[in-house]
Every structure is written in structure tokens, then in C-alpha cells.
Amino acid sequence: MRHSDFRYNTAVARAKEPSVIGTRIRGLRRRRLESLRAKGQKAMQACLWDKAIRFYTRASKLAVGAELADAHRQLGVCFQSQARLAEAETSFSAAVDSAQQCGDVGIKASALRGLGLVWQRRGDHDKAMDCYNQSIALCREHGDLIGEAAAHSNIGLLWQTAGDLGQASRYLQQALDVFQRLDAKPQMASVLGNIALIYHSREEYDRALECLNRTLAIAREMGNRPLEANALGNIANMHLEKHQPDRALATFEALLVVHREMGDQDGEARDLASIGHSLIQKFEMERAVSYLARAMKGFLRLEIADGPRQLLPGLRMCLTTMGVKDFSAACERAKLEPRTVTELIKVLELRLPTPTAR
């Protein structure tokens, strides 16, 4: 071989090296990203939210385009499941922006629904409705019937909170019809539970229990623990309404264990509140204060708008029955700071703004 030919072949080989290396690097990145996403999904299915957050955070550093938007969206779901609303808002907003940049309508619509739930939990229903309507428009553009029905289901809950049960029923039934037609079992179970709440509000307990039992059956068939927990919680509330505090108390105590194992701090706070209300029905006021005070502390820490307001009637009843001295002592045994207890008593006696957690 001539020296010139050798130099030519060497130059060609070197020119090809960056392309080969780049291909290998992209392949490694792709395999690593797929592995992280798979592990994240597995962790979410097991309700291991912190673990899932670690996987999706690492995935977001490798991802681009739609994959990046999806990683942000999944992080939003994980944060929301732990009632970490500020972080959920940040993640869902990032997902919306990333999806907009890469033109992925489906992920953007889903992230908007997640963002709507954040605002709904914070009590800003106008912002929540705006997000849901944007999601519906994108779903119709994309032909996503399940996504559109999911938004309708969320809007139904907004109307329920506003006290318009007719509008709530209309939206929820519309969503259920789509889910049944498409055999979307997780969504079907969820919306059946929401419809049961409408019947519950109307004191149509038999129809409510029928929906809840369907929800429970679907959840157990799928092995979906969060859905099962939600159905059990609603059944327990039914026992409260029917003045069966012992049955309600036993169900809520079991549910509290489930939510703690799932890492659901919002669920844990609501279970504590429910146990407290069950104990009030049994006139066990001192025990009730312990649970209600811990629930109050949890809601304030999580910045959940509707939680503390729901506790005030029960706490006021306990204060009236027990007197200030015993009530204060029970709150302090529940690990509330003395200053917080003082502010809480002012709220209960004078109906001032809800105190800040300490």
C-alpha cells in the first residue's frame, strides 16, 4: 500500500469515529432512559412515591422532547399523590411547557388536568376549570376520548364542591358512559366512586353503596390499592352517615394504616379527621381531639384549603363539651405547640382565620 493510500484510509476511519461513538452514546442514553422510566412506573404502581421521584428526576436529565415532558408529568403525579402541591405545580407546568415545545398534544392535555387538580385542591376553582377546559379542547383535537372524559369527571367534582349536584351528576355520568364503552376499568372505578358521593349528598345511601361496591370490586380485580382504599374510605363515611360509628371507626383505622404505607400524607390527615369525627359520635371527646388536632396540623403543613375548615365544627363541639383547660391539654398531648393551641381556641370561640401551623 502506498503511503498516501494509508494516510487516506486512516483519515476516513477517523472521520467515521465521531459518528460511531455518537450512535453508541445515543443507544446507551436510550437504554438508560427506558430503564429509569420502567423503574419509575413500577415504583408508582407500588405507591413508592419517593422512589419513583428519584427515578423520574434522573430520567428528566437524560430525556428530550416528549420524553422530557412525560418525565415532568410523572413527577407531577408523584408529588400530587403526596399532596406536595407546590412541587406538583412546578412539575406539571414544566410538562405543559415541554409538551408545547415538542408539539405533543396528549401529554400537554394530561399535564393540564394534573395542574387543574392542583388548583382544585388549593380551592382556586376558576383556575382549575380553565385548565380542564384547555385539556378538553386538546383532547378533542387529538381524539382522546378517555382524556376528555377524565376532564369531565374532574369538572363534575368542581360542581359538587359548588353545591350544584345536578351539574355534577351530568358531568360524572357523561364520563362514566365513555369509560364503560371503552372498558377503561381504572377510570370507571374512580368515577363510580365520585358518583357515589353525589348519591351520598342526596342521602340515597343504597344507590351510593351500589356504586361503591362496584368500585371496590373493580379495584380488587385490578389489584389497585389506591382505588380500593378510596372505596373503603367512602364506605366508612357511609357508616358515619347511618350513625354506625363503631363500623366506621374500624374501617378508618384500617384505612389509616394503608395510607401510611402508601406515603399518602393527605390521606393520612383525612383518616385522622374521620377517626376523630367517629369518636365524637361515640362521645369520646378527649380521644377525638387527639385525632382532630393531628389532622389539623397535617392539613396546615400540606396547605390544603378545605381540610382545616372541615375540622372546625368537630373541634368546636369538643371545646364546648370539655372546656378550655382539658381541650388545651388534649391538643398539647397531640403535639400541637401551645401558641398554636391558643390561636386555635380563638378561632373556635370567635371564628377568626385558621391559625398557621407551628
Choose among 163, 162, 157: nearest CA to 175.
157
What is the dihedral sign for C-alpha 253, 186, 169, 79? positive
Q: How confident is the model at residue 341 (pLDDT cuts 50, 70, 90)?
A: confident
For residue 17, what pLDDT band results from cuts at 50, 70 and 90? Answer: low
Q: Over the stretch 238-273, which tens digit does the pLDDT of each residue have?
A: 887 778 888 889 889 989 988 888 888 888 999 999
Tens of pLDDT, residue by residue over 208-223, are 989 998 998 998 898 8
For residue 5 the three cell numbers come to 493510500
Question: 130-158, pLDDT tens digit by residue?
Answer: 999 999 999 998 899 999 999 999 999 99
The grid coordinates of residue 323 equal 372546656
Amino acid residing at 284: E
Task: Give the pLDDT mean for 174-192.
Answer: 93
Distance between CA 1 and CA 14 in Å, rounded?
Answer: 19
User: pLDDT digits over 225-241, tens only?
Assistant: 788 888 888 889 888 77
Residue 75: its pLDDT value, please? Answer: 96
Distance between CA atoms of residues 355 and 334, nearest Å: 16
Q: Is the pLDDT reported for residue 343 higher than 90?
A: no
Distances (CA, A) of 189 to 32, 183, 197: 34, 11, 13
Give the whole-angstrom CA distance, residue 171 versus residue 154. 8
Is residue 353's pLDDT more than 60?
no
Average pLDDT (178-205) is 91
pLDDT-based confidence at residue 302 (cuts at 50, 70, 90): confident
Percent of the chain with pLDDT over 90: 54
DSSP characters for 99-123? HHHHT-HHHHHHHHHHHHHHHHHHT
**pLDDT of amino acid 358:** 46
Contacts 24+ apart (CB under 8 A), 146-149: 146/178, 146/179, 146/182, 146/184, 146/187, 147/106, 147/109, 147/110, 147/113, 148/178, 149/174, 149/175, 149/178, 149/179, 149/184, 149/187, 149/191
pLDDT band at 288 (very low <50, low <70, confident <90, very high): very high
Cell digits of residue 91: 412539575
Higher pLDDT, 244 or 329: 329
Q: Is the pLDDT of residue 164 over 80?
A: yes
What's residue 352's pLDDT? 46
Mean pLDDT of the chain: 87
Q: What is the mean pLDDT of residues 322-348?
A: 88
CB neighbour class for 291 (10 Å; exposed up to 12, middle 13-18, buried from 19)? buried
The pLDDT of residue 291 is 94
Is pTM, for the whole model, over 0.75? Answer: no
Q: Residue 220: which residues within 8 A CB-CB, separation 6 or more? A: 228
All domains of the chain, ordered by start, with CATH?
A: 243-358 (1.25.40)
CA-wise closest residue to 278 among 235, 248, 242: 248
Quote the percentage of the chain above a pLDDT of 70. 91
CB distance 80 to 88 below 8 Å: yes
pLDDT tens digits, one per residue of 53-74: 999 999 999 989 999 999 999 9
* Spatial distance between the Cα atoms of 173 and 186, rounded to a whole number of angstroms: 15
